[in-house]
Structure 1
Amino acid sequence: MARPHPAVAVCLSAWLALHPPAARAAELLAPGVISTAHNETSASLTPDRRELYFMRGDLVSGDSAILVAQRDGARYRNVRIAPFSGVWKDSEPHVSPDGKRLYFVSNRPAVAGGEGLVATRGRQSFPGANLWYVERQGAGWGAPVRIEGEVNRVPMVYNPSVAANGNLYFSAHREDSGAAYQIYVAKPDGQGYGAPQRIDLGIGVKGNHMDPAIDPQERYLLFAGDEGDSAGAADIYIAFRSADGGWGTPLRLPGEVNSAYLENAPALGRDFGELLVTSMRPAPARFPKPAQDLEAFTRRLDDPLNGSRNVWRFDIAPLLREHGIDAPG
């Protein structure tokens, strides 16, 4: 991992001092390189661990692009906009388990030259979201392809995550979602994907279920939401596959994964138990504080722990082993 700026290191040390690790410490991912003063979320590694794709956007989520960083040992470098992004509002990249496809979300038009996708909810209109993918071609990626059919019939489709068998998980607002968002799965049907099926989790449509991260073997499912015991706006939960093929009661992840702030966009890393999570947790502010000049104050506001969304790394291997899972997907 790249060495953090001294000011960032001080803020991170102060935060961790107030949050002693329950099992494995929280790790801010590449501060100053991946995690910055902007919003970063939805990190996804290629199978060889040499590339990390993630979203970076403004603080109100009005604009975003998909970025890619090279991994060199434990360090990240050469951050740049992914070749298929940078024109439309793109977000939420997910590299398939075999690395042959990268799924993402975009408001780009279904037909080249058309208008960007728009969604309306209540009295508000905002950039819409459909699922797209690019396929690996040598060292690069092919042209973006929109998923046709029922999956993208509605303009609010987010957070793709695919299992090894091709089953596509995502969150969306559809006719059977209730007032919030729910998680769906669409299975390959030979020509694309079949009709999405809603996954009933926990409190069902009474709650908000977003950002699925499926184990490649579909043994467990991580998501963001509030099952009534969330400490913040949303926390990360895990549901294990039950013997009847359904999903067990969601469990709020223990330890440092969740905080009093928003956590969302869980993503599985390539190592067993590796979990990447987006969090808005800031460095603590204590008062009175030493007098600062404008330069010092601005540095504080411009470091990653300013309350913007960052990517954090955790190890949930002990929890998985407690539930009989002791090998990668």
Structure 2
Amino acid sequence: MKKIFKSMLFVGASLTALACSADEGRAVTSGPTLSFGGSVTGYGVGTNQKVRIQGNAPAVNFVSKGNLVMSVGGQATNGMTYGAVGVVQFDRAKTGIDRISEAYVYGNHDMLGSFKLGDTEGVVSNMMYSGTDVLGGLGGSAGDLDKLINLTRAVDFRPSIAPRNDKATKLVWVSPEYKGFQIGLDFTPSTKLRGREGRGSTLNNGATPTMRNNSIAPYSTNLLGGGISYNKAFQKCNFGLYVVGHTGKSRGDAIAANSGGSQNTYHDTKAWQVGTLVDYQNWQFAASYFDRKKSWIRKQAATVDGVAQTNPTSYTNTKGVDLGIGYDFARNANLGVGYTHIS
């Protein structure tokens, strides 16, 4: 496999405008309340250099995204908060994805921690902070750095160990904080399983009908994730250290374009990541190192026109480092610079 790239340098500025949020009432112990919120983000990306896309590439691609968050929840007499959340997303650049990006139930208690059940992110995403998280609208928490790379370089770019479908149905638990420490666990039966039929899925009408994604992309089963974090606040500074990892089995759909057998076996899912985040007044700095090992990589090469290809002996895009530094001028207005190296 050829190396797609070695390193990249990005500079991004963003302005995020939050949509209005309205609450119908304050949460009380006697019953739930309903609330709505959302956000919208937009940016322009120059794509006039080294673009490998079909057709005449425009000088600038304008990208916009947003979401509508619907939440209903309340508080029990024992102090536990509970509820359900649904997130509807609006993304011009992704027309073939589910409009409902998240749907889950949750519960929180000071002594028991918090749990989620449904289509949502796991601890490898929620308990990890890296350089992409300080890049504002182009970064992790407020944007899509991978989308920026796809527009400008047309390559798969994910400086994270999270699965491609990190909002598959799962159970998530995060402990209460104790002297700055927190631990988290999650379990995902299958990264292609969601609580509803997703776009791009079909019903395989065989002897045993099954729902299957129209994709030969590998996925994980029985995926167990874990994380530990430490946060310490000083007089003018906040420091955080984060470690996450997961392990599971890798599988691949057997479809006409890629039949079963040895060509459809993959290395098991094993990966870990360590990151740090430092806040100092209006400045933020974050960095991480990740190692996906051989997760989701085919063990043996596919057959082309009846001829077996050479088995892969070297792998790229499996590990890397990323860092970023950002400065907040005002609420929702910031400037960030980031660097990522993947090998």
TM over 0.5: no
TM, length-normalised to structure 1: 0.31
- Higher strand proportion, which one? 2
TM, length-normalised to structure 2: 0.30
Work out which of the two has the higher radius of gyration on C-alpha atoms and give 1 or 2: 2
